[in-house]
A and B are shown apart, each in its own frame.
Chain A
Amino acid sequence: MLLDLSPPKRKQAISLTPLIDVVFILLLFFMLSSSFAKWQAIQLPASTASQQASNELVRVILHRDGNEFSVNAKRYKVTNLNALTELIAKNPQTVFALQVEKQVSTQALITLLDNFKKSGARNVSFAGVIR
């Protein structure tokens, strides 16, 4: 009988290709189905009873283009934060009732609300659409 004295064969490494395939498929799945959007909320108080009934009420009208608003018949740019800050500083307890003209987008209303908030307004309410 002949003895097999040749050096033992090296074990073949496991092929990585199927692993890469699976990982690529998983990567594609997570890339396509993942969402990175961060949602936030603005509370809209549904109660109409106002606890600031004794405070001064100022009517703010947001115009159709969404870029300008009026307070006491004086027009201001929505982006004019200095004018807003001055308005609010006169009486910080003032309640600002926002009214919008027809065909104003929700984004324009939210931008104005945000700018009031940025300028230090504490009491802002949405009074509706001007008919």
Chain B
Amino acid sequence: MLILETPKRTPVSDENMIPLINVVFLLLIFFMVAGQIQHSDPQKIDPPDSISEQILQKQNIAKLLVTETSILYLDGKFIAAQDLSEQLRLMVTQAGDSKSFTVQVKVDAQLDVAQLQTTLRSIKAAGLLRISLITQKMKDQ
């Protein structure tokens, strides 16, 4: 006589999950330690690649973002090109120290150099002497 018995289900134990939890904890620690949480840019841009290894200044700075279509964002806020010099002058006055005040210009790699030059002229017109162009590490390095 054939007896068909349904297989007994063994209760799932949490102990089987421990290796998974270990891996997930390690991943969590990796992302917490190695990653940096930053403000995201108002528009996604791809800065040019360079071999430069100069570290970015952290204080007394203004961040200027220039998109491929020449839209300007100063410290995350949209700004019209004609208002840039005036706004920068205001920022320098508020910062007090005009000599160490740096404008960090983050431009898209595909931006026309003529547009970049126009932006740089506006910054110079505000009387600022320190301008740095933000780049990213060469992808093939």
Contact = CB atoms under 8 A, between A and B. Distances in A.
For the side of the interface on B, what is the size category? 35 or more
A17 interface: yes
Interface stretch (A1-9, A41-49, A51-59, A83-91): A41-49
A110 B50 contact: yes
Interface residues of A, number: 44
Given A34-B35, A35-B38, A106-B107, A42 B114 contact: no
Interface stretch (B53-61, B72-80, B89-97): B53-61
* Chain A binding surface, main DSSP class: mixed
28 contacts: A15-B14, A17-B14, A23-B28, A31-B27, A33-B37, A34-B34, A34-B37, A36-B36, A39-B135, A39-B136, A40-B53, A40-B137, A41-B55, A41-B56, A41-B57, A41-B104, A41-B132, A42-B52, A42-B132, A43-B130, A44-B131, A106-B108, A106-B116, A107-B48, A107-B49, A110-B133, A111-B49, A129-B114
Interface of A: 13, 15-17, 19-20, 23-24, 26-27, 30-31, 33-47, 100, 102-111, 113-114, 117-118, 128-129
